[in-house]
């Protein structure tokens, strides 16, 4: 079971934040086919949000073919978004951590690290397209 969190100031609609967090969990293998999502009652009980927000998020996940609602029981994961690449996550994560340590000791703060990372991702994507 996963739990959701909400950033009201982010400007991203709350239902989209829930959709995103489920997709993220599916991608990282935290949720697998057959797993149950928190019930609407549980989500509103922790986040203090309108139940329709949760229903809307679950509906969208259903439309994406990721989950299915079983009336009266709950909402269940149909398929994950994790693929063969999941096995490579561990080593990559480790390398990234080492890289972060080097960036830190070189004097970069979080903001500079993020800016650098985004910039490299962007230029990498641009090269890929070209």
Partner 1 sequence: MTAVIEAAGLGKRYGQNWALSECSLAIPSGKVVGLVGPNGAGKTTFLHLAVGLLQPTSGSMRVLGARPGASPAQLARIGFVAQDAPVYAGMSVRDHLRLGAWMNPTWDTELAADRVAGLGLDPNQKAGRLSGGQRAQLALTLAVAKRPELLVLDEPIASLDPLARREFLQDLMQVVVEQAATVIFSSHLVSDLERVCDYLIVLVGSRVRVAGDIEDLVATHYRLTGPRRDRGRLPGDQQVIVEDHTDRQSTFVVRTSAQVLDPSWTVERMGLEDLVLAYMARAAADARRPKLAEAR
Q: Which residues would be at the binding site for partner 1 (CB under 8 A)?
A: 6, 8, 11, 14, 40-41, 44-53
Tokens of residue 111, six digits? 């903001």
Q: Could you tell me the smallest distance in angstroms from the CB atom of residue 71 to partner 1?
A: 15
Q: Which is nearer to partner 1, 41 or 93 (CB)?
A: 41
Q: Could you tell me the smallest distance in angstroms from the CB atom of residue 107 to partner 1?
A: 36
Q: Which is nearer to partner 1, 48 or 106 (CB)?
A: 48
Q: Report which DSSP code applies to 127.
A: H
Q: Which is nearer to partner 1, 18 or 26 (CB)?
A: 18
Q: Could you tell me the smallest distance in angstroms from the CB atom of residue 1 to partner 1?
A: 17
How many Å apart are CA 1 and CA 79, to the nearest integer? 15
Coarse DSSP helix, strand, coil percentages of the chain, rounded to the nearest 5 percent? 60, 5, 35
Q: Which is nearer to partner 1, 53 or 80 (CB)?
A: 53
Question: For the chain, first and last CA: distance in Å?
Answer: 42
How many Å apart are CA 26 and CA 79, to the nearest integer? 8
Q: Could you tell me the smallest distance in angstroms from the CB atom of residue 38 to partner 1?
A: 12
Residue 66 vs residues 1, 13, 34, 56, 60: alpha-carbon distances, Å: 16, 20, 11, 14, 9
């Amino acid at each position: 079971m996963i739990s959701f969190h909400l950033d009201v100031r982010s400007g991203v609609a709350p239902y989209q934040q829930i959709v995103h967090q489920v997709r993220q969990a599916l991608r990282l293998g935290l949720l697998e086919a057959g797993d149950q999502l928190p019930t609407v009652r549980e989500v509103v009980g922790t986040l203090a949000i309108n139940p329709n927000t949760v229903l809307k998020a679950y509906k969208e996940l259903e439309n994406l073919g990721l989950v299915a609602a079983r009336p009266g029981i709950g909402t269940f994961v149909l398929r994950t978004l994790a693929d063969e690449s999941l096995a490579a996550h561990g080593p990559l994560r480790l390398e990234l951590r080492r890289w972060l340590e080097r960036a830190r000791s070189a004097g970069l703060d979080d903001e500079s690290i993020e800016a650098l990372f985004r910039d490299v991702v962007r230029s990498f994507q641009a090269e890929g397209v070209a």
